[in-house]
Chains A and B, each alone.
Chain A
């Protein structure tokens, strides 16, 4: 049979012009581009969802989100307290879908901020002064120096902290959304240079009751927040008459899920979506204790956690941490930031030291699970886990 005509090849499931996969030539010829995906616009409102279709340009590696504006307390402040979902979980969910792959990113703001610190060891929150649970902290807040968590003259809006007085509080937060798993080699990035490409970002904002654990009886609350989105893309160079792209054979996924019913003793959290062709890069989680509307993160210390491990199959347990403090210390060593002391985050990190060696092949690890032994039963306890995975993108040629 004669060779068939090679009509539009497919990259990541969409038709594309003729291109050649050659990372080296791509990196020599490409140009980093940063441009507006969404100009500064008022959000629909707390509890609602804003969406935007991204520009179909180049190779999409990341998104930069800014949320800024004001929150205003009026009337008589009384006992008004910000909850621990403030400020990062003002983003209740951020979802990114690309080329039919729904929810490449589907997680809360705290997950995004924590992963930014984990994936970029240059970031350090040491010395950035923020209030947390009513005390000033200079480490472990996961705050950037550019963050404004809510400031009105000398008063602040801070997690787990009473709001001192009525007034208009300025807010300014930025988040990095990692479309690619690695911002250097762009593995996991998305081919956006096609009219067939469909890139959508949807942000569901937290409700008022989620960010405020208490509002004084005679107090009022209003918000005037805006958001803007910047696309971080790379141009597709033409080398020797052909378009050249990096390795686009995998997608990068970062997704949250929640599980309740926690108690003292060993808690076992099975990871959803485990399957052949997927690699687990990192697993991040924290546990909340306390009834709504004020659940608080449980610090990652030996006082709260006994043994922590991850396991698969019947009882294969490759890594065991004797207690929460040991995992907290390991996380400080690999991430360079204290994830656990304030936000209670724990991290199984398979990608930061040597990914080729350490990443978990989900095709060979059935019933992959996180196991943690809680010293005491949390009140209405629940955990939010975030999985970072790579999986094979649909390809054809």
Chain B
């Protein structure tokens, strides 16, 4: 029960506990948003994304360039 709920006075207080490391710092709001969490190395999704990128991204990098009679090709595929 808070005073604001019973008597309509007194805003609910902040916690008097020790502040979180970023609390009270001049931190832009977006840095604590969803995008921030996805690039966090502590997030398993980050590493899953990294594996997928290596697997399929390398295939996407494979390609060739034809310059007149010459053909330049490159691939990360070891075959």
Contacts and interface: CB of A to CB of B under 8 A. Distances in A.
Interface of A: 1-4, 6, 9, 11, 16, 18-21, 23, 181-182, 185, 187-188, 242, 245-250, 277-279, 281, 351, 355-356, 359, 361, 390-393, 395, 397
The 5 A-B residue pairs whose C-beta atoms are closest, nearest first, are: A249-B10, A185-B1, A3-B25, A9-B16, A3-B24
A248 B15 CA distance: 11
B2 A20 contact: no
B70 interface: no
A359 B12 contact: no
B14 A397 contact: yes
B5 A356 contact: yes
B34 interface: no
Contacts of B21: 3
Contacts, number: 93
A242 B18 CA distance: 10
Given A1-B26, A6-B18, A20-B17, A249 B5 contact: no
Nearest to A246: B1
A3 B22 contact: yes
A247 B2 contact: yes
Given A361-B8, A392-B10, 8 more contacts: A18-B16, A23-B2, A247-B1, A247-B13, A250-B9, A281-B7, A355-B8, A395-B13
Nearest to A279: B9
Contacts of B2: 23, 187, 247, 249
Contacts of B9: 250, 277-279, 359, 361, 390-392
Contacts of A182: 6
Contacts of B18: 6, 18
B1 A11 contact: no
B contacts with A: majority SS: loop
27 contacts: A1-B26, A2-B25, A3-B19, A3-B22, A6-B24, A16-B16, A18-B17, A20-B15, A20-B17, A182-B6, A185-B1, A188-B3, A245-B16, A246-B1, A247-B3, A247-B12, A249-B11, A250-B3, A250-B7, A250-B9, A250-B10, A277-B9, A361-B8, A361-B9, A390-B3, A390-B7, A397-B14
B3 A242 contact: no
A356 B7 contact: yes
A355 B2 CA distance: 13
Contacts of A181: 7
A21 B13 contact: yes
B55 interface: no
Contacts of B5: 356
Contacts of A6: 18-19, 24
B10 A355 contact: no
A262 to B, nearest CB: 32
> By CB atoms of chain A within 10 A, which of B3, B12, B19, B26 has the most?
B3
B8 A11 contact: no
A20 B13 CA distance: 9
